[in-house]
Structure 1
Amino acid sequence: MLDTREHNLPVGTICVEDLEIGMTRSLSKTITDHEIELFAEVSSDHNPVHLDDAYARDTIFQGRIAHGMLTAGLISAVIGEQLPGHGTVYLGQTLRFMAPVRPGDRVEAEVTVLTIDHAKRRVTLDCRCRVGDTVVLKGEATVLAPSRKFD
């Protein structure tokens, strides 16, 4: 279950008119075996490094890891639910996978406003996921933010 209340942050929408550089929102989630299995089913990515303990022990990871895109999906959750929130349209995303996420890891996904083009409603967001103090994923997203002018 997503823990958007861990930081006492609202779920909903922040219109482009109310966004500010430096605004940050986050959520935390523990990645479970069941979620890795569900993601494999939904994505059709059945790579044994995600699903087979014996196979994964003999890889560079020395054990099973979560799909990178499962971790990246937490960024999408922050963008779609909190910053900017409901009504946001994804335009692009860059990602760098820095370290593996393992079953049982608690991932914190954090999104911060970098730039705002009010005329075009375009917002660039710094995106990071951490397990403890380790950055496991980083990148930037470009989104079309909701606006009160279009309600």
Structure 2
Amino acid sequence: MKYTEITPGYIYVEERVITDEMVRKFADITGDDNPIHLDEDYASKSIFKSRIAHGILTLGLVSAVLGRKFPGPGTIYLKQDATFKRPIYIGERIRIRVEVLEKIEEKSRLLLSTEVLNEKGEKALVGEALVLFREEEVE
């Protein structure tokens, strides 16, 4: 999508499933091996009753949408405000929702609402992102 085609109110939605492999790879890459993410026995005794995904892994999936799908290649993350409201469980299908709140023409920036909803449609992550968007030139 070209910057000129983006308008406030535009919504992009994508669904993903949080897998055990994703969580384990994220833990390995970051070193965050908190047992709430990796050990079912430990997690079963927690307030969550089962393993949950890392919150930052979930936010990373928002980043992937911004950089690859919408607004897409050429996007530079400038700022993200995020609140984690509910856990995302291993095997859960999530919905990533990005909405254009404001278009800042003179700087090619977009203010975006960023949300991740769980399978029940409840907000698990809410926030706002500020991005610089310039389309990649294709030769």
CA deviation string 1:64-117 (max 9, x = no partner)? 100011111121122112221100000010111111111110011010100011
Letter paired with 1:60:
I
Q: Which runs of 5+ in 2 are unaligned?
A: none
1:131 is matched with which residue? Answer: 118
Q: TM-score, normalised by structure 1?
A: 0.85
Which amino acid in 1 is paired with 2:118? Answer: V
**What is the RMSD of the two structures over their aligned residues, measured on CA atoms?**
1.7
Q: Which runs of 4+ in 1 moved over 4 A?
A: none
Structure with the higher fraction of residues in strand conformation: 2
Code of the aligned partner of 2:112: L
Q: CA deviation at 1:61?
A: 1.2
Paired position in structure 2 for 1:80: 67
Identity of aligned residues (%): 38
- Check if 1:28 corresponds to 2:15: yes
In the alignment, the residues of structure 1 paired with residue 136 and residue 61 of structure 2 have an alpha-carbon distance, to the nearest angstrom, of: 26
- Between 140-149 and 40-49, the greater mean CA deviation after superposition: 140-149
Q: CA–CA distance in 1 between the matches of 2:96 and 2:39?
A: 26
Q: 1:49 matched to which residue of 2?
A: 36
TM-score of the superposed pair, with normalisation by structure 2: 0.92
Which string of whole-angstrom CA distances, capped at 9 and with x for unpartnered residues, describes residues 23-80 of structure 1?
Answer: 1112111111111101101111000000011111222112110001111112112211
Question: How many pairs does the alignment contain?
Answer: 137
